Structure 1
Amino acid sequence: MLAGPAAGFDALLFDLDGTLIDSMPLHQRAWSQWFAGQGRPLADEAGFFAATAGRTNAEILAEYFPQHTADVHEAMADAKEALYRAEAAVQLQAIAGGLALLQTARARGLKLAVCTAAPPGNIAVAFERFGLGALVDTVTSPADGLRGKPHPDIFEAAAQRLACPPERCLVFEDAPLGVEAARRAGMRAFALTTTLDAAAFQPFSNLIGTAKDFTELDQTLLFV
């Protein structure tokens, strides 16, 4: 379903996990395996994944294991991400229509960025598997010293690097925290319902539409 007036944009900013790549099932399995290995199996997996989508590992682990130091949290995160990358290297798939949209947008002269909370190793797996480095202009993430979503930092940094005003940027997201981060950055957002259904995004005033994947996107929203 699409909503809101058509408008041209100069830059498209894409979340990675659950937006450009169908990684959320792999992340969910990795988190479930990791928590089980800690002797703390997740009692509410759906609630955990809905609440943590878009957040950094450091933020998640600090909440669940406040008794540990940042160094311990980093080691925990490395162990979880190793589980994810082992599967992603051979099983990771792209969200339908996403790569084609990147190619079309690039050919039309739009500026493109990936804005993600993913750690560098995970970003590298996706970029190598799908050739994303040849399609986007910049990548922003907490590895740049930026706060995770719902803070607007990674979207603001991308807009600055692309020399594009926030109101001329469109953010593609699959998580409410990401749509909120876009709102705080002064950007409109389009939500993919790969992780949550459309109702989860309706409260956001900056939302211009939702779709199950990029094949449902009305490109007149982008190219005028």
Structure 2
Amino acid sequence: MKAFIFDLNGTMIDDMSYHTSAWEDILNNDLGGNFSYEQVKQNMYGKNSEVLVRMFGENYFSDEQMTALSFEKERRYQSAFLPKLQLLPGLSEFLETAYLQNIPMAIASAAIPFNINFVLDNLNIRKYFSAVVSADDVEISKPHPETFLKAAELLGMPPAECVVFEDAPKGAEAAANAHMQCIVLTTTHQTEEFSYLSNILNFSSDYTSDYLKDLLV
């Protein structure tokens, strides 16, 4: 493995409950839905527009409405999460060590740039990443492999030499579809939810595990 590709939300920062709560608020209180927290959580993958289509159906919202709702959801998420914003335990040291070893690293996320920049700039970690792939850079979201394949291309690395860090089954499935191995951070989903995948190298609660430390030895 010669390059690392990171999902962002739930993988580098433990924030997925804040995303779920922001969506639940908008879907139910603003848009008149009647969705449980668990329903929102299970459907919260891919682009924001895809979440809205998944919950309300095709052609329910115009493109302009979905763009406005997407930014409002991220505004509420950022407002709630900013006081808690921090990298997962051990990740700061992991990134610095990998950086000093000249291991190419990228972020490949379904988040919009507004949300990715919120994390990179507030935590001052942009220097570690040679490439960033956002929702705006792909046509088809995870579990389609486009997000990870584009990140590998930008790094100049063959997919087979990249390892993906993910927290969600659909993300790990996207890695499998890109013919990449995957390490799962168990911030959001249980290990049994990944049982249908054969590309999982390891499950870790954070970046302090011996397995992850050994990757950089």
User: TM-score range with shorter-chain normalisation?
Assistant: over 0.9
CA contact (8 A) 1:23 1:93 kept: no
For structure 2, which runs of at least 5 residues remain unmatched after alignment? Answer: none
Residue pairs, 1:157-176, within 5 angstroms: 157-176=150-169
> Secondary structure of the residue that 2:140 maps to in structure 1?
coil
CA contact (8 A) 2:23 2:40 kept: no
Write out per-residue CA displacement over residues 102-125 of structure 1, whole angstroms, 9 at most, x where no aligned residue.
Answer: 111111121000110111111111
In the other structure, the counterpart of 1:49 is: 41
Do structure 1's residue 13 and structure 2's residue 5 form an aligned pair?
Answer: yes
In the other structure, the counterpart of 1:152 is: 145
Write out per-residue CA displacement over residues 161-213 of structure 1, whole angstroms, 9 at most, x where no aligned residue.
Answer: 11111111000000000001001111000111100111111221111110111
Larger RCO, structure (CA 8 Å, separation 6 or more): 1
Q: Which is further off, 33-42 or 170-179?
A: 33-42
For structure 1, which runs of at least 5 residues remain unmatched after alignment? Answer: 1-8
Residue type of the alignment partner of 1:79: E
CA contact (8 A) 1:173 1:191 kept: yes
State the aligned residue count.
214
> Secondary structure of the residue that 1:171 maps to in structure 2?
strand
Q: TM-score, normalised by structure 1?
A: 0.89
Q: TM-score, normalised by structure 2?
A: 0.92
> Secondary structure of the residue that 2:208 maps to in structure 1?
helix
Instruction: After TM superposition, give the deviation of residue 52 of structure 1 in Å.
Output: 2.2
Instruction: After TM superposition, give the deviation of residue 221 of structure 1 in Å.
Output: 5.3
In the other structure, the counterpart of 2:85 is: 92
How far apart are the structure 2 equivalents of 1:109 and 1:77?
A: 36
> Secondary structure of the residue that 2:182 maps to in structure 1?
strand
Instruction: After TM superposition, give the deviation of residue 47 of structure 1 in Å.
Output: 3.4
How far apart are the structure 1 equivalents of 2:105 and 2:65?
A: 35
Structure 1: which 4+ aligned runs deviate by more than 4 Å?
A: none
Write out per-residue CA displacement over residues 79-104 of structure 1, whole angstroms, 9 at most, x where no aligned residue.
Answer: 21111121233332221111211111
Instruction: After TM superposition, give the deviation of residue 64 of structure 1 in Å.
Output: 2.1
C-alpha RMSD of the superposition: 1.6
Change (3 A) 1:221 1:178: farther
